Structure 1
């Protein structure tokens, strides 16, 4: 089995249009959640979100590309460009033939869907653009990343709701670890912040109207975000041979299914994924210093996740730091695990733990060190990234400091 390291990272989200900007915002405990700005927002009950602001697609892509790139694809290509440039890799010859891309996404081209439903049903038009299907399909971003960067190896999209990115990165990790590919581009993206996307989530009655407060007793729901996170997963010897900077090492993963309820999480299912990741990584609970929690800010998730962590770690849970950066950038649904992986990299590489902001009242059922409101300096050797999705689909990644 090959060792797998991360040699490139890129992002765009409500906190920043790059990795340095995002990490700075996390260190400062800055909130990227604010009033939503799009057509008919006044018809919504929920009017806040982690919206990407100041992103001008017209200056990045030409007219032909704009006809093919939904907003989630634009985000993905932006993040992928940053990640690959940071890695220093160029894809040609044998490397091009073997390198691929696995991305997570849940909603696909929701902006395109919303615009074209309006065009047909509200405006009464009988034609849509001939590229609507290739623009809105879930695998559009993966396809365009493969074409733009000449990635001819295994490429596909994983769609498992809020665990999509973690499932995608787990598959990419397995491909590099097994020797199938020396390099994989992986991560995820989402852009559901449009009228139809928010209206659909309103129906679940799990959304907050004012803020995301994970683990706080007075929390009142989740807040949607948008954006992308993309990484270069590379075989260790391949990276060392070319003198690449290594951000951290990916050392294990586990996936589980609750097989219980389509929306309510299960402590047992989450615990199996967490303990499975430790087992796959061959680390003990005492070696883990930080967990980036799924931490949605809903009572169902927060209490279940904390109970699962407490079950797996036992007395070691008292020495564990766990935080949810969704409090800052919102819940990116299919892209959330990818953006949150940046907090794990920051903990391992820089020794800075991203805080859970908006924390106001302790919850006896979330009796863990949730790093409330302010970032913390701490040396961390091993970190976990949790993702627990509707459908009872769970994916946990384990990473180590290099």
Structure 2
């Protein structure tokens, strides 16, 4: 790889409706409740995951950045900031680049920050992202019938009815060397399939997964956990499951005996082209005992969808889970859905089996990101 410097997470901070700090995000108990922050009486849906003690967006961002920089031991006033928001900030945050690329905003910022560190162009970067549930986006998603009608987000479950929005504010500091975790690789792809619907066979996300593995120098079987993008919507969850099936199903047998760190993720070498579309996921469900992929959960089932901030929120949750030794549950699950045949973490957290994990995000317009992280 041409990028020679290792990228470490040296500080991180997070706030959601589950609470403040990384450990609060691992309770597994959904934080959805009726919205009292604004009037929803004329909406189809009335629930979201809202933090009772949330300040203003700028106050929460300021606190998150300060906490992450303090943990990393860097001066926040002289550390470049990459910021993911729905709209430009209303206060001066200093040296700044803002990202507004929908639900991959934060992961795009994180990928750019990692590149700056790897290439030696900067010796520290803070990446921050924030979304607090507000009436305008709520109305947009409600009118588009994207929000759940039963007060829960049920990723990959039969009878899922949609997503729910949630407060989310996070910040991480990246530096070269060692730290809380290593950000090994970032990959970005575009489906160019439809303005709001993913490609049904998940090809764009599959390519992002394969590319991230290749950049990280890992084989598919090295990944022990995937924090999925799954929003609880019918088409998106099925497409993501198809992507996971294409990238991981059956590869345990192909990769047995592989050494973590050996270059992997080559789609031709690993035979990833033979399982196209949701029917591949159906086969995985039918033969789940032979599923060779990683454990999967979507933590949106507990903290909701933080839109532009979701990728950074879920990245911090993934790091926190690996550091805790327990992988978070896929909350809200009711019953298996045949097109969603991945190995979901249900009922209780699962022990970490590998130091390597992946965090996935997708956005309207067909954008996809895949991050590979290592702890330990």
Counterpart CA distance in 2 for 1:12 and 1:159 is: 20
Q: Which residue is equivalent to 1:212?
A: 153
How many aligned residue pairs are there? 331
Q: Which residue is equivalent to 1:227?
A: 168
Q: Which residue is equivalent to 1:159?
A: 100
1:103 is aligned to 2:83: yes
* 1:391 maps to which of 350, 361, 365: 365
Counterpart CA distance in 2 for 1:230 and 1:373 is: 30
Counterpart CA distance in 2 for 1:140 and 1:265 is: 33
- Which ranges of structure 2 fall in alignment gaps of 5 or more residues? 252-290
Q: Which residue is equivalent to 1:356?
A: 330
Structure 1 residues 187, 309: CA separation in 2 closer, same or farther (over 3 Å shift)?
farther
Q: Which residue is equivalent to 2:274?
A: none
SS at structure 2 position matched to 1:318:
coil
Structure 1 residues 140, 5: CA separation in 2 closer, same or farther (over 3 Å shift)?
farther
* 1:290 maps to which of 225, 237, 242: 225
Counterpart CA distance in 1 for 2:20 and 2:311 is: 17
1:195 is aligned to 2:135: yes
Counterpart CA distance in 2 for 1:320 and 1:399 is: 14
Q: Which residue is equivalent to 2:50?
A: 51
RMSD across aligned positions (CA)? 1.6
**1:2-401, aligned counterparts within 5 Å?**
2-22=5-25, 26=26, 28-55=27-54, 57=55, 71-90=56-75, 96=78, 99-105=79-85, 107-108=86-87, 138-140=88-90, 143-144=92-93, 146=94, 152=95, 155-191=96-132, 193-209=133-149, 210-236=151-177, 246-266=179-199, 267-316=202-251, 318-401=292-375
Counterpart CA distance in 2 for 1:182 and 1:348 is: 25
Counterpart CA distance in 2 for 1:44 and 1:372 is: 31
Structure 1 residues 74, 227: CA separation in 2 closer, same or farther (over 3 Å shift)?
farther
TM-score by length of structure 1 reads 0.79
Q: 1:258: how far off?
A: 0.6
SS at structure 2 position matched to 1:349:
helix
Counterpart CA distance in 1 for 2:76 and 2:193 is: 44
Deviations 1:115-141 (A, max 9, x none): xxxxxxxxxxxxxxxxxxxxxxx2547
- Greater helix share, structure number: 1
Counterpart CA distance in 2 for 1:376 and 1:206 is: 30
